[in-house]
Amino acid sequence: MYGQVLLPALSLLSLAVAAPLDESWMQPRDSEVAHLFKRAAPDPSADNYTSYYPDAWTTPNSTVIPQAWLDKLNNLTMPNVSVATMSGSRPTYPNHEDDGDDTICSFTDQCHVDDDLYEPSGEKIFALSFDDGPTESSEDLYAFLAENNASSKATHFMIGGNVVTAPQTVLTAVKAGGHLAVHTWTHPYMTTKSNEEVVGELGWTIQALADLNGGRIPKFWRPPYGDVDNRVRAIAKGVFGLETVLWNEDTNDWAIADEPHKYSISSVEATFDEWITGNRTEPLLLLEHELDNNTVTVFKDTYWKFAAHDWTVVNVADAFNMTWYVNSGEGNTDTVTTMSVAGTLTTASTSTTSSAASTTASGSVTGSASDTAATTAAANASSWAISNKPSLVALLGSFIASALFL
């Protein structure tokens, strides 16, 4: 009797399981089905945490890139821009192509497009951001921001390789309310990378940050060295929905260590004073860093002057009146819409229960990205929530359970 009832039910169940998953039908995080089937983000305190990601300082190639990301790349209509090569200290294009023309529009040649976030609007607006974290100096910076009730006023453009080697430092920024954004996986000149490598550099950094921030998918990125052109812009926006953030002033704080004969803490602070305490009212989107003690010291020494001279300090998202993340609004505790990295945003699947400090609720990778498991990791780098179609699975499961007790 059991077999007569159970076998047809199992057949139906197998059909439901075999049905392709449509990520636009994602279950809410707090639904019963999602709780049954969700996959946890990697535990940042676990010994094998880094195995869930590509090597920290190697550009991820196509063998560790999820097929869904590559599919989106292949569906893009790309501008006719060649991959650049390094010539001395800067990228150059083949056939003497002009990197400053409208076709290429490389910010290395100070060309930027209307969609670039280059300068906020409004008088005395200071869009605060830091590149290159997390580093050994980041905890000091985060403590200072917290002490001055400024954690949520800062955007942190983080390097993916640093994120996965110092996840607890990232969590400090998350819990304090900092705005997380992307600064690529290995900090390369992005115009010298192939299309697939650009996807790997951006996508895996997004994934690592989302895994540590309750599934909140970063919406903003800043190209290392400001090296971006129309090809890279198209990939960042078309595959991941990323906004390209540049800067209208360079503090040169990064050069204190690299060029000590030319820059010092005092000389960089003097430049700050010219912007802050003078007659300037035009908004500021500065290039600043949490790179080392020098860069953090400059910020700590000058921050108080902004309020003293009537500057309004906000993070990059707020400066441009945009939401903080692709699938969430303002802050690290706002409602999150469940989706995968490079996925499709819907309004039907939301949660108000995910925590900013959560390390278990995110669009996470579920396999290992090292050695022979790399392909598995790429295939599984998707949202942990299952499709709404498997609600049929739950229904059939109930039917089977009832049949067993007939």
Catalytic residues: 131, 289
Q: Tell me how far apart the alpha carbons of residues 359 and 404 are, in angstroms, rounded to a whole number.
A: 38
Question: What is the distance in angstroms between the CA of the first residue and the CA of the last residue of the chain?
Answer: 9
The two tokens of residue 384 are: 């942990």
Q: Tell me how far apart the alpha carbons of residues 153 and 242 are, in angstroms, rounded to a whole number.
A: 20
The two tokens of residue 310 are: 């009537």
The two tokens of residue 296 are: 């953090």
Q: Tell me how far apart the alpha carbons of residues 258 and 254 are, in angstroms, rounded to a whole number.
A: 7
For 130-177, give the DSSP string. EEEES-TTHHHHHHHHHHTT-GGG-EEEE-HHHHHH-HHHHHHHHHHT
Scored b (16 or more CB within 10 A) or e, 122-158 reads eebbbbbbbbbbbbebbbebbeebbeeebbbbbbbbb
